[in-house]
Structure 1
Amino acid sequence: MGLHPQLIDAHCHFDDASFDVDRQQALSRAEQAGVTQQIIPAIKAAWWPRIKQLCLDHPGLHPSYGLHPMFLTDHQDEHIDQLSEWLAAEQPVAVGECGLDFYIEDPQPERQQRLFEAQLELAGRYDLPVIIHARRSVEEVINTLRRFPGLRGMLHSYSGSEQQAHRLIEMGFYLSFGGPVTYERAKRLRHLVKSLPLESLLIETDSPDQPDTQHRGERNEPAYLPLILELFSQLRSQPAQEIAAQTRLNTQQLFRLQ
């Protein structure tokens, strides 16, 4: 692919235990691939301290603290107050990963909605962007965001419709894409990557989840981000350099990175 500019993985769970065996090597592989920075979103309160330590140890990694909708059994109501304290004290780059997931067993939609809105309220209070997980819930997420005007953020691993994408972009949100777009059958995702304005797109791996076609069934890692970039380049008939530069700028602007 030739030399490419520096890339930012807009969504990576690099604190995951699956990296405990080779985290330093995985980081080196990422840097060799041009991935110099990563956004590390939290999924539950118990793991905030390890994300904090990871990002202190590696300046290119940026923490985000939140409560993921798929881990409802781990969340306590007092975690929202704790989150407020963490946001005030730690000054992360974002709130999240938060959102709505109506695909999981026993989704408890009312509880998910309460936790999501509490985190959106904190994002507004601390003037931070939100990292949103929306699975089978994009319409509900849009309707919720309408009640919090002025918030900014990203929908990670976007899976909604083109019409919903345009509504989110009009509201000032970015849409992020990763491994799923590399699968031939992902016609709708590929159409979105091809047709949406590049100024509103981010690229991510969601490591260790959602590997691309070349690494199907394996642990995903940030070093594979250039494969997403390459596919964007093919789908949009645009040089990889241009896409890398714009998606990097988008990520820097959203998270106020230096």
Structure 2
Amino acid sequence: MLVDTHCHLDAVEFDDDRAAVAEAAVQAGVGVIVVPAVERANFGAVASVCRDYSCCIAAYGIHPMYVDQARETDLDALRETVMREQPSAIGEIGLDRFIEPRDDSRQEFYFNAQLKMARDTGLPVLLHVRRAIDPVLKALRLCRVAGGIAHAFNGSRQQADEFIKLGFKLGFGGAMTFPRASRIRELAATLPLDAIVLETDAPDIPPEWRVGARNTPDQLSRIAQTLADLRGIGLEEVAAATTANARAVLPRLIRIH
């Protein structure tokens, strides 16, 4: 079995064939799909998807790219949703230093507030860290949480080691499948296997064989094969290890399978 630790199955790109997409994932060996929210407006959609498809489990959070439209009352709504729905994690949260224009202080306010919520509730976090790894690590050192996943990790080995020290796993997906992605592939090949989880970020970050097309969670099996090839081990070993890693860092996954 495989676990897709990051898939936006609630996205509008799946409105026409969501059931077929979920079934294709299950048929491809993806037993669990973690569906993270990005803003208060899609908390309900995420909850609905996770009720409709038994392979799915939710995470709830306010994404850094959505903070401009957020209100402080959204944090109250997040806490209420977390207490009611019992999700796998708080996420997708974090910082983004790529988008322009942006409000760094506003991102930091919502990120820190959600880290405190995760600490108070004992939940892990799903982190968005694009070009913001060092400030994210700084925030994690100031507000210790119950681990989580650094989604779409693309940092240095030193930064990877710092996340691991803090109890985090590192998410690898479609970017790893590109032959020119030498740094990501080197990390995938050499990091401790118990530090790695798999993800698609569908419908985004398509693998090399789907450039320009919609990404889907059934592609996780080929992504896992890429990881196996990079490490020189079998697909079954990769599947067993990454599934165990996902369960270890997101304990509520165990209630699905």
| TM class, shorter-length | over 0.9
Q: Secondary structure, in 3 states, of the residue corresponding to 1:132?
A: strand
One-letter amino acid of the counterpart of residue 25, structure 1: A
One-letter amino acid of the counterpart of residue 121, structure 1: K
Task: Quote the offset at 1:150 in angstroms.
Answer: 4.4
CA distance, structure 2, for counterparts of residue 114 and residue 209 of structure 1: 26
Identity of aligned residues (%): 39
* Matched pairs, number: 253
2:68–2:106: 8 Å Cα contact kept in structure 1? Answer: no
TM-score by length of 1: 0.96
Q: Match for residue 125 of structure 1?
A: 120
Alignment equivalent of 1:16, drawn from 11, 14, 20:
11
Q: Match for residue 100 of structure 1?
A: 95
2:22–2:53: 8 Å Cα contact kept in structure 1? Answer: no
Task: Quote the offset at 1:252 in angstroms.
Answer: 1.3
Alignment equivalent of 2:110, drawn from 105, 111, 115:
115
Task: Quote the offset at 1:149 in angstroms.
Answer: 2.3
Q: Secondary structure, in 3 states, of the residue corresponding to 2:142?
A: coil
Q: Does 1:43 align with 2:38?
A: yes
Q: Match for residue 139 of structure 2?
A: 144
TM-score by length of 2: 0.97
Q: Does 1:233 align with 2:228?
A: yes
Q: Match for residue 182 of structure 2?
A: 187
CA distance, structure 1, for counterparts of residue 62 and residue 29 of structure 2: 30
Q: Match for residue 245 of structure 2?
A: 250
Alignment equivalent of 1:164, drawn from 151, 159, 166:
159
Q: Does 1:53 align with 2:48?
A: yes
Q: Secondary structure, in 3 states, of the residue corresponding to 1:101?
A: coil
One-letter amino acid of the counterpart of residue 180, structure 1: A
Alignment equivalent of 2:28, drawn from 26, 33, 41:
33
2:176–2:185: 8 Å Cα contact kept in structure 1? Answer: yes
CA distance, structure 1, for counterparts of residue 34 and residue 140 of structure 2: 22
CA distance, structure 2, for counterparts of residue 168 and residue 104 of structure 1: 23
Alignment equivalent of 1:69, drawn from 64, 67, 82:
64
Task: Quote the offset at 1:73 in angstroms.
Answer: 2.6
Q: Could you list the per-position Cα deviations for residues 95-118 of structure 1 after superposition, in whole angstroms to 9, with x for gaps in the alignment?
A: 010000010012211110110000
2:123–2:145: 8 Å Cα contact kept in structure 1? Answer: no
CA distance, structure 2, for counterparts of residue 127 and residue 72 of structure 1: 23
Q: Secondary structure, in 3 states, of the residue corresponding to 2:127?
A: strand
CA distance, structure 2, for counterparts of residue 220 and residue 112 of structure 1: 27
Task: Quote the offset at 1:139 in angstroms.
Answer: 0.4
Q: Could you list the per-position Cα deviations for residues 30-53 of structure 1 after superposition, in whole angstroms to 9, with x for gaps in the alignment?
A: 111111210000001000001111
Q: Could you list the per-position Cα deviations for residues 132-166 of structure 1 after superposition, in whole angstroms to 9, with x for gaps in the alignment?
A: 00011000000110011243111000011110001
- Structure 2 alignment gaps of length 5 or more: none
Task: Quote the offset at 1:84 in angstroms.
Answer: 1.1
Q: Match for residue 3 of structure 1?
A: none
Q: Name the Cα RMSD after superposition.
A: 0.9
Q: Secondary structure, in 3 states, of the residue corresponding to 2:62?
A: coil
